[in-house]
Chains A and B, each alone.
Chain A
Amino acid sequence: MSNYTAIREWADEKTADKTRIVVGLGTCGIAAGGNKILDAVEKTLANNDAIKADVVSVGCIGICYKEPLLDIEIPGKPRLSYGSVTARDTKEILENIFLNNKYEHKKALAVIGDETFEGIPSWKEIPFFAPQERRVLRNCGFIDPEKIEEYIANDGYAGLSRALVEMTPAEVIDETLDAGLRGRGGAGFPAGRKWSIAADNIHTYKEKNPNSDAFGYVICNADEGDPGAFMNRSVLEGDPHSVIEGMTIAGYAIGATYGYIYCRAEYPLAIERLKLAIDQAREKNLLGKNILGTEFSFEIKLKEGAGAFVCGEETALIASIEGLRGMPMPRPPYPAQAGLWEVPTIINNVETLNNIPVILAKGAEVWAEKGTEKSKGTKTFALTGKVENTGLIEVELGMSLREVIYDIGGGIPDGKEFKAAQTGGPSGGCLPASMLDLTIDYEALAKAGSIMGSGGLVIMDTSTCMVDVARYFLTFTQSESCGKCVPCRLGTKRMLEILTRITEGKGKIEDIALLEELAPSIRDSSLCGLGQSAPNPVLTTLKYFREEYEAHILDGHCPAGQCKALITYTIDEVDCTGCTLCAISCPVDAISGAKKELHIIDTDICTRCDTCRQVCNFDAVLIDGNLL
């Protein structure tokens, strides 16, 4: 079977008219107890012969704060989604629907479709989903990632077919250039331009080394190093074929023979699903020799990373695949000139590659309708931290931070105030409330001192200490610095020492100037992006939250009440009921007081572990006299 129409017919037939009970089992779903829901579904089915349905587990649909999720698909009816379900809810929902024709339930979340149904609102009316534009996440949470037929039945591999059958490699590159797709791994380099440079080099390489067993490589960067983000993981877990298809199209465009997926070892589920997807694609002749009956052959191999942030940098990643320490190399030569084993190589991020099949299937013009002049398309973000609705979201580029945080995210919980939005992880920066109307695009974020990054978006409120956040990121970059170049190795160390000193109340006012002097020199003289961007968290917090640094240094005060060395715990005389819970919970016996009487914390013994404040039911434990 080697032509697309035949494969598509096979897939449509296999997936047609099925009643499906769908459980979200991405990493987040599993963590929230999705497996218990799956068990409950199976038990309910076993006990009710009348319920006939396929049970399917899918990746993450993105609405993480409503996990575990249970969805029902019945032919002729819209798909219904239920959130925060328990095992008991599951039984109830299934029996209601299949035995009593009753769809409403207190856990009903939305209709995944345009219309309301039986009193359940359309997801277009749910604030979390309404402003979103799902392209990258088109299949996540919808298809069974372990079944290739479900991907194909949703237009999967149509882009590859069009590219291979109807277009020349040069036309594929032009289409990608026309779309204006920029790299989603952080730096935003135009994908088409990278491909076109590589294609030229591969052409020359072929002439010089006609007997080489590889003329070019396509590497998918699935190392996802930002320690607060999981966009790539969700795509790999929920829609692995989209990445394989994107890589194969890229391979055809530049004339490469092999592809490598370099995936974080900490993503076992993603790795498992990728392996399966590669096998399935090969079986259907969508990978391997003479793909879809054409002249083009392409193979993909999987490489597991080994836990080094710097290996997300392209030259270090190549060294790692070669079995070496993952140390970056000076560029040029760029990988597109001499990459893996000195062969011209392109490296693209998971999300960049995931966009390619859509561009090829729908055409560059349609794809580029979304976005801004210079930042086309959509971008996924892992929206986390101090925000009401956390999850994996996708928005049109050009949307404002405010819309993302307040409309999709539902604002800041517990009546607290917004303080900062962090984008770009350790390479990015913290943006203050005055920048909430900033549009999310590559240029605007860079101008503000941060970067687009790969999609981490961590929201912070007034109880987050910005000096501590800077210290947190520097701890990360310092320990991940590979040590090859001096500015990064020693510079990050010096900055970390200074930041630690400030959070411990031992800072001097000159330290601020010292940081401001160190930062640009590290940025300008480091070998790779790790060092070059490491100062960003420090520079942005100094720029936008300078008064917090000064409070630590001059007043010995942490305004957020986070820095242990600078805070004191006390118990409020009025609110304490003398319930003794704090005294019982205190791991160091620092709290004394008789039952029904005011309790007192001995600050000399207190380790500021925060246990008393968290267990108190009466908000009676204060930090520096304030209720946090």
Chain B
Amino acid sequence: MTVSTQDRSALIPLLQQVQVEMGYVPREAITEIGKELHVSTSDIFGVLTFYAQFRLTPVGKHQVKICQGTACHVQGAPLIIDAVEEELGLDDAHDTTKDGEFTLEKVACFGACSLAPVMIIDEDTKGNITPDKARRMVRKIIKAQAAKAKKSAADKNNGEAKNE
């Protein structure tokens, strides 16, 4: 059975919806959407890999976005990217840390060029960033995370102690 052309146009919006909900497009979703729209899995893969928006692997808990638009580039964005990649142990082939805490995304112009270079961590936009400031921002989150983990471990211990 072939899909009517108008149905086929629902493919990208459906994939986008999955991505919004899950942060990526898991395999099962691909199979399911394929069945629904009568489009082959390989065809869907073709679409997924064509568009930069789609991810096939889960995203980290914290999203770091660095603008690599032209204005940010001439104001030193490559240095910021290098600094954050080094801080998080990432490179061109790996955009998410092994512990699943951070994903680094390099994006085109945010539309805040007057503040170039621009970096966004979890919805918090920071302009006029320097490599040093970028490193500090990342470290701050790691530290907060560690403190939280420690606290919850301590709470858990306390709870257990009380129960005993």
**What residues of chain A have their CB less than 8 Å away from a CB belonging to chain B?**
26-28, 30-32, 64-65, 67, 225-230, 233-234, 265-266, 303-308, 320-326, 341, 382, 384-386, 390-391, 422, 425, 456, 458, 460, 464, 469, 472, 482, 585, 587, 607, 609-611, 614-615
Q: How far is the CA of A266 from the CA of B68 in the complex (A)?
A: 14
Prevailing SS type, chain B contact patch: helix
Interface pair A228/B5, CB less than 8 Å apart = no
Interface pair B8/A609, CB less than 8 Å apart = no
Interface pair A384/B125, CB less than 8 Å apart = no
Q: How far is the CA of A256 from the CA of B54 in the complex (A)?
A: 33
Residue from A229, A384, A585 whose CB has the most chain B CB atoms within 10 Å: A384
9 additional A-B residue pairs with CB within 8 Å, beyond A30-B125, A323-B8 = A306-B54, A307-B51, A323-B9, A325-B46, A472-B73, A587-B86, A609-B82, A610-B131, A611-B131
Q: How far is the CA of A226 from the CA of B71 in the complex (A)?
A: 11
Complex contacts, A469 vs chain B, CB 8 Å: 73-74
Interface pair B131/A382, CB less than 8 Å apart = no
Q: Does B70 contact A (CB under 8 A)?
A: yes
Q: Does B142 contact A (CB under 8 A)?
A: no
B12 to chain A, nearest CB (A): 6
Q: How far is the CA of A234 from the CA of B108 in the complex (A)?
A: 16
B120 to chain A, nearest CB (A): 8
Across the interface, name the chain B residue whose C-beta is closest to A585: B132
Q: How far is the CA of A464 from the CA of B70 in the complex (A)?
A: 11
Q: Does B47 contact A (CB under 8 A)?
A: yes
B133 to chain A, nearest CB (A): 9
Q: Does B88 contact A (CB under 8 A)?
A: no
Q: Given that A32-B115, A385-B71, A610-B131 are contacting pairs, would A321 and B108 also be in contact in the complex, using a CB cutoff of 8 Å?
A: no
Interface pair A266/B79, CB less than 8 Å apart = no
Query: Which B residues from 1 to 43 make CB contacts under 8 A with A?
Result: 5-6, 8-13, 15-16
Query: Which B residues from 56 to 106 make CB contacts under 8 A with A?
Result: 68-76, 79, 82-83, 86-87
Interface pair B113/A228, CB less than 8 Å apart = yes
Complex contacts, A326 vs chain B, CB 8 Å: 50-51
A351 to chain B, nearest CB (A): 15
Complex contacts, A30 vs chain B, CB 8 Å: 125
B130 to chain A, nearest CB (A): 5
Interface pair A266/B131, CB less than 8 Å apart = no
Interface pair A385/B74, CB less than 8 Å apart = yes
Q: Given that A65-B114, A324-B47, A469-B74 are contacting pairs, would A306 and B53 also be in contact in the complex, using a CB cutoff of 8 Å?
A: yes
A321 to chain B, nearest CB (A): 6
Complex contacts, A67 vs chain B, CB 8 Å: 114
Complex contacts, A460 vs chain B, CB 8 Å: 74
Interface pair A307/B53, CB less than 8 Å apart = yes
Q: Does B52 contact A (CB under 8 A)?
A: yes
Q: How far is the CA of A28 from the CA of B8 in the complex (A)?
A: 36
Complex contacts, A615 vs chain B, CB 8 Å: 130, 132
Q: Given that A27-B111, A32-B127, A610-B79 are contacting pairs, would A320 and B12 also be in contact in the complex, using a CB cutoff of 8 Å?
A: yes
Interface pair A322/B5, CB less than 8 Å apart = yes
Complex contacts, A324 vs chain B, CB 8 Å: 8, 47
Q: How far is the CA of A120 from the CA of B86 in the complex (A)?
A: 49
Q: How many A-B residue contacts, CB cutoff 8 Å? A: 146
Q: Would you mind naming 11 contact pairs between A and B with Cβ atoms under 8 Å apart? A: A30-B125, A228-B113, A230-B111, A307-B51, A341-B6, A385-B70, A587-B83, A610-B76, A611-B83, A611-B132, A614-B131
Q: Given that A31-B118, A587-B86 are contacting pairs, would A307 and B113 also be in contact in the complex, using a CB cutoff of 8 Å?
A: no
Interface pair B16/A458, CB less than 8 Å apart = no
Across the interface, name the chain A residue whose C-beta is closest to B86: A587
Complex contacts, B121 vs chain A, CB 8 Å: none
Contact of A233 among B16, B111, B115, B125 (CB under 8 A): B111
Give 5 nearest A-B pairs by CB, closest first: A228-B70, A230-B111, A306-B51, A307-B53, A64-B114
A474 to chain B, nearest CB (A): 13
Q: Given that A306-B54, A321-B9 are contacting pairs, would A234 and B16 also be in contact in the complex, using a CB cutoff of 8 Å?
A: no
Complex contacts, A225 vs chain B, CB 8 Å: 108
Q: How far is the CA of A30 from the CA of B54 in the complex (A)?
A: 26
Interface pair B83/A227, CB less than 8 Å apart = no
A488 to chain B, nearest CB (A): 15
Residue from B113, B125, B127 whose CB has the most chain A CB atoms within 10 Å: B113
Interface pair B75/A27, CB less than 8 Å apart = no
A622 to chain B, nearest CB (A): 17
Across the interface, name the chain A residue whose C-beta is closest to B67: A227
Q: How far is the CA of A386 from the CA of B75 in the complex (A)?
A: 8
Interface pair B70/A384, CB less than 8 Å apart = yes
Interface pair A609/B115, CB less than 8 Å apart = no
Q: How far is the CA of A609 from the CA of B110 in the complex (A)?
A: 24
Complex contacts, B79 vs chain A, CB 8 Å: 609-610
Complex contacts, A325 vs chain B, CB 8 Å: 46-47, 50
Complex contacts, B9 vs chain A, CB 8 Å: 321-323
Query: Which B residues from 95 to 151 make CB contacts under 8 A with A?
Result: 107-116, 118, 125, 127, 130-132, 135
Interface pair B115/A31, CB less than 8 Å apart = yes
Across the interface, name the chain A residue whose C-beta is closest to B124: A31
Interface pair A228/B125, CB less than 8 Å apart = no
Q: How far is the CA of A587 from the CA of B12 in the complex (A)?
A: 43
Q: Given that A234-B111, A323-B10, A382-B113 are contacting pairs, would A611 and B71 also be in contact in the complex, using a CB cutoff of 8 Å?
A: no
Complex contacts, B118 vs chain A, CB 8 Å: 31
Interface pair A308/B52, CB less than 8 Å apart = yes
Q: How far is the CA of A386 from the CA of B116 in the complex (A)?
A: 10
Across the interface, name the chain A residue whose C-beta is closest to B49: A325
Residue from B6, B74, B75, B116 whose CB has the most chain A CB atoms within 10 Å: B74
Q: Given that A234-B111, A307-B53, A610-B76 are contacting pairs, would A323 and B47 also be in contact in the complex, using a CB cutoff of 8 Å?
A: yes
Across the interface, name the chain B residue whose C-beta is closest to A27: B111
B114 to chain A, nearest CB (A): 4
Across the interface, name the chain B residue whose C-beta is closest to A227: B108
Q: How far is the CA of A439 from the CA of B73 in the complex (A)?
A: 26
Contact of B127 among A31, A234, A322, A456 (CB under 8 A): A31
Q: How far is the CA of A356 from the CA of B19 in the complex (A)?
A: 36
Interface pair A306/B12, CB less than 8 Å apart = yes
Q: How far is the CA of A65 from the CA of B116 in the complex (A)?
A: 11
Interface pair B71/A384, CB less than 8 Å apart = yes
A503 to chain B, nearest CB (A): 11
Q: How far is the CA of A425 from the CA of B135 in the complex (A)?
A: 30
Complex contacts, A482 vs chain B, CB 8 Å: 50
